[in-house]
């Protein structure tokens, strides 16, 4: 496959972003961080296909430290490149650390070179380390492209769901790192082909306009869509502001001009801090401010970034008010007649998954937002979930064949999210959107980014019913017949064949 035959990002149509005005979103950025650059847009290609067929200067091979990755992509690259690649990896390269990139010949591939890199394993507790490692994967790949004066490179997804990396977060980091590198060193790079599977293709369609806007108008509206953290403005590297060490020209400067800034600290400690140029104001540190659990605040929709004027007593008061409101709604849910909502059948429990967690099903096509009593819909949701959320649970949302009147407004979705308690969000282990559309992916991303960022990593788009059977046994999942019929027309009957094999 020749690069010339692939459509450039600059050849695609810019999105109509005018409807963003009605969402009432606030911008984190005074101006567009990523300007409209037609010269950069024509270098980018989004392509869904087999990377081993591309005739490019280099293809990227995501692997593990010892080049024994069991993924289908890795095995195919090594198999198509032939025995000489295997020999070189074993005898010469031998090892590649996470975040590094090593280059070899392409051997039997149409590509001249193969760039091998090792993506990180993702753990929410060590998110910063994973982000930094993934950044260096992309940065080191691009630096090898620049160093070897390669004009074209094909890059598949380096981060993987198998390693636990949230797809949208990985896409943000990949796009901004590539964008920043091209701004600095892109003169001799003609083509960067982002090789995607069907799931990630939709994500990149949504996010690429933020980093490679195709018009001034698209760049302007990216201010409302880009997250607050967009990395270092020069190279896109993740910024860890709370851990950054500030170094000043005169190590004695802070101590000499602020003799009272270390009151309450021993004399020896003061001298030691002054020697290394550290400026410490204990009262301004988040620990000294006695902030509430930041994760809890995010899940409850409470602001955690505003430290001044939000002491623990105020936060606890807000939490208490939130809990009292929820308890009032729960009491109403237990006493009011909710049969008009429950009778619709759009929300119900359907057995448990393979880990014994309750499965909650929401059928979008049966939810008529314009006609249903939204107050009672909220009460029914609370009454259904309350006994289930004492432990872990998952939600399946079937977007199958929905139309405009089935889509709830952003305002109502935010209201529901804010009403639900900490336990609802903490114990939610997965929210799966089945049969998503492009519009669904766009709106889901906006909602999770601006309204519910704390559960972003728990939401997944699933193209077909069969993919659910990795976590749920078929006999536990009850869904309407129209969903199964639609799924067969779109994805075939593979999951039916799988079922008969299991039996």
pLDDT band at 265 (very low <50, low <70, confident <90, very high): very low
Q: What is the pLDDT of residues 113-152, one digit of tens each?
A: 999 999 999 887 888 899 999 999 999 999 999 999 999 9
Q: What is the pLDDT of residues 123-133, one digit of tens each?
A: 878 888 999 99
**What percent of the chain has a predicted confidence (pLDDT) above 90?**
53
Domains of the chain are 3-224 (3.40.220.10), 253-280 (no CATH), 336-502 (3.40.525.10)
Closest among 366, 359, 326, 324 to 345, alpha carbons compared = 366
**What percent of the chain has a predicted confidence (pLDDT) above 70?**
80
Contacts of 232 (CB under 8 A, 6+ apart): 180, 238, 239
pLDDT band at 321 (very low <50, low <70, confident <90, very high): confident
pLDDT band at 317 (very low <50, low <70, confident <90, very high): low
191-195 vs 152-155, strand pairing mode: parallel
As a residue count, the chain comes to 503
Q: Is a pLDDT exceeding 60 seen at residue 230?
A: yes
Determine the average pLDDT of the residues in 197-202.
Answer: 84
pLDDT band at 414 (very low <50, low <70, confident <90, very high): confident
Q: Which of 181-185, 294-298, 442-446, 465-469 has the highest mean pLDDT?
A: 181-185
Does the reported pTM lie above 0.85? no
Q: Is a pLDDT exceeding 90 seen at residue 163?
A: no
443 or 307, greater pLDDT = 443
pLDDT band at 11 (very low <50, low <70, confident <90, very high): very high
Least confident segment among 220-229, 277-286, 409-418: 277-286
What is the per-residue pLDDT for 177? 98
Question: What's the token pair of residue 121?
Answer: 């394993």
Q: Which of 5-14, 238-247, 297-306 has the highest mean pLDDT?
A: 5-14
d(CA 430, CA 460): 7
280 close to 261: Cβ distance less than 8 angstroms = yes
Helices (H) and strands (E) in the chain, counts: 18, 11
Instruction: Give me the long-range contacts of 295-303 (CB less than 8 A, separation at least 24).
Output: 295/454, 296/422, 298/453, 298/454, 299/422, 299/425, 299/426, 299/454, 299/455, 300/421, 300/422, 300/425, 301/417, 301/418, 301/451, 301/452
d(CA 212, CA 32): 11
Q: What is the pLDDT of residues 251-262, one digit of tens each?
A: 444 434 444 443
Q: Is a pLDDT exceeding 50 seen at residue 218?
A: yes
Determine the average pLDDT of the residues in 282-291.
Answer: 42
d(CA 165, CA 154): 21
Residue 92 gets which letter from DSSP? I
404 close to 371: Cβ distance less than 8 angstroms = no
What is the per-residue pLDDT for 307? 41
d(CA 156, CA 53): 13
What is the per-residue pLDDT for 407? 87
Q: What is the pLDDT of residues 375-395, one digit of tens each?
A: 999 999 999 999 999 899 999
What is the per-residue pLDDT for 440? 83
What is the per-residue pLDDT for 28? 79
């Amino acid at each position: 496959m020749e690069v010339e035959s692939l459509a450039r990002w600059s050849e695609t149509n810019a999105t109509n972003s005018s409807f963003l005005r009605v969402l009432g979103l606030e911008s984190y950025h005074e101006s567009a961080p990523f300007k409209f650059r037609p010269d950069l847009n024509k270098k980018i290609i989004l392509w869904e296909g087999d990377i081993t067929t591309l005739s490019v200067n280099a293809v990227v091979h995501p692997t593990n430290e010892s080049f024994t990755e069991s993924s289908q992509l890795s095995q195919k690259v090594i198999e198509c490149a032939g025995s000489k690649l295997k020999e070189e990896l074993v005898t010469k390269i031998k090892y590649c650390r996470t975040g590094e990139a090593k280059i070899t010949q392409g051997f039997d591939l149409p590509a001249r070179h193969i760039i091998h890199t090792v993506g990180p394993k993702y753990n929410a507790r060590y998110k910063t380390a994973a982000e930094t490692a993934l950044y260096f994967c992309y940065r080191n790949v691009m630096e090898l492209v620049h160093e070897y004066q390669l004009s074209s490179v094909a890059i598949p997804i380096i981060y993987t769901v198998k390693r636990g990396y949230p797809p949208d977060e990985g896409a943000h980091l990949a796009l901004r790192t590539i964008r920043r590198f091209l701004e600095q060193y892109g003169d001799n790079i003609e083509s960067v082909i982002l090789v995607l599977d069907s799931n990630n293709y939709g994500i990149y369609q949504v996010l690429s306009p933020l980093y490679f806007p195709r018009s001034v108008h698209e760049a302007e509206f990216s201010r409302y869509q880009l997250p607050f953290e967009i990395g270092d403005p020069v190279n896109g590297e993740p910024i860890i502001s709370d851990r950054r060490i500030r170094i000043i020209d005169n190590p004695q400067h802070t101590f000499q001009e602020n003799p009272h800034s270390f009151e309450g600290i021993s004399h020896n400690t003061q001298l030691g801090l002054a020697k290394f140029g550290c400026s410490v104001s204990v009262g301004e540190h988040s620990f000294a401010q006695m902030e509430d659990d930041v994760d809890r605040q995010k899940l409850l929709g409470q602001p955690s970034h505003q430290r001044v004027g939000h002491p623990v007593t105020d936060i606890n008061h807000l939490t208490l008010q939130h809990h009292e409101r929820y308890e009032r709604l729960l009491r109403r849910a237990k006493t009011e007649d909710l049969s008009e909502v429950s009778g619709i059948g759009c929300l119900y429990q359907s057995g448990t998954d393979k880990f014994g967690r309750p499965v909650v099903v929401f059928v979008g096509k049966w939810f008529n937002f314009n006609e249903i009593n939204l107050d009672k819909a909220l009460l029914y949701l609370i009454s259904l979930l309350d006994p289930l959320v004492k432990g872990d649970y998952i939600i399946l949302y079937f977007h199958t064949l929905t139309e405009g009147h089935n889509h709830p407004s952003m305002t109502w979705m935010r209201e529901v999210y804010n009403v639900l308690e900490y336990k609802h969000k903490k114990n939610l282990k997965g929210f799966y959107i089945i049969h998503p559309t492009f519009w669904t992916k766009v709106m889901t991303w906006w909602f999770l980014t601006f309204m519910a960022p704390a559960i972003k990593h728990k939401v997944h788009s699933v193209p077909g019913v069969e993919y659910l059977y990795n976590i749920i046994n078929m006999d536990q999942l009850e869904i309407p017949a129209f969903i199964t019929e639609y799924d067969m027309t779109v994805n075939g009957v593979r999951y039916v064949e799988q079922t008969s094999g299991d039996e």
